Amino acid sequence: MSSLYVALDFSDPSQALTLADLLDAQSCGLKVGKELFVRGGPNLVRTLVDRGFDVFLDLKFHDIPHTVAQACLAACDLGVRVVNVHAAGGRAMLNAARDAVPQTPGAPALIAVTVLTSMDETALAEVGIARPLAEQVQLLAGLAFDAGLDGVVCSAWEARAMRTLFDRPNPVIITPGIRPPGSALDDQSRVMAPSDAMAAGATALVVGRPITRASDPSAVVQAILASLR
């Protein structure tokens, strides 16, 4: 599995493919989120997979158990390397997702989102959750662990706790909000440098604009990988 995923946060699939042309599939994976998937569809994902990239399909499936299981099966058919679900869907949904994704070589890693990074304790309270944010993250991550998922998406600031919780061989702890030294913060506030995030327990990083907006995206990828070494 790639240690670095480039977030393809584009509205136009042709832009995503143009960027992919500039990157080495042996050096990084690619993350496809909701907007790009809705606009580019499964064929775009297949194209990226056929080019040799590890693809993290970041769609955060959250629905009734049967629907999520079928969505996970469809993701497996696309050949992606990582697929995620939202742990707030509950134990039955997580179990259904785990049953749908085979635990065999070459199958996608199945990971969970706990609390969206856009939410704070005020936002949780608005949807009826009174416990502190950190406790809610631990609760949902615990459900994912109990269901046998491979790991979580989390803030780098939560990575160490998640790595401790997922006490099994080769946990998958993917952290967004990564900014190489000297990069603009953009709309991020709780950021961490790549090497610090790995030291904190992350196993893979997601980096978007510092790479996608660079004049030489491949050089930024290589610089990040060099910092990890």
Quick: pLDDT tens for 56-66: 999 999 999 99
Average pLDDT on 174-203 reads 78
pLDDT number for residue 188: 46
Q: Which pLDDT band, with edges at 50, 70 and 90, does 35 fall under?
A: very high
Taking all residues of the chain, what is their mean pLDDT, rounded to a whole number?
Answer: 93
Please indicate whether residue 34 is annotated as part of the active site: no
| Check whether domain 4-228 has CATH 3.10.110.10, yes or no | no
> Rounded to an integer, what distance in angstroms lies between the CA atom of residue 18 and that of residue 44?
12
> Rounded to an integer, what distance in angstroms lies between the CA atom of residue 32 and that of residue 6?
9
Q: Which of 31, 33, 49, 60 is catalytic?
A: 60
Q: For Cα atoms 65, 76, 94, give the angle at the middle one, nearest 5 degrees.
A: 25
Q: For Cα atoms 109, 117, 167, give the angle at the middle one, nearest 5 degrees.
A: 40
Strands 109-113 and 55-61: unpaired
pTM of the model: 0.94
Listed residue (23, 141, 20, 21) closest to 32, CA to CA: 20
Query: Would you list the domain boundaries of the chain?
Result: 4-228
Summarised one tens digit per residue, pLDDT across range 153-178 is: 998 889 999 999 998 888 999 999 89
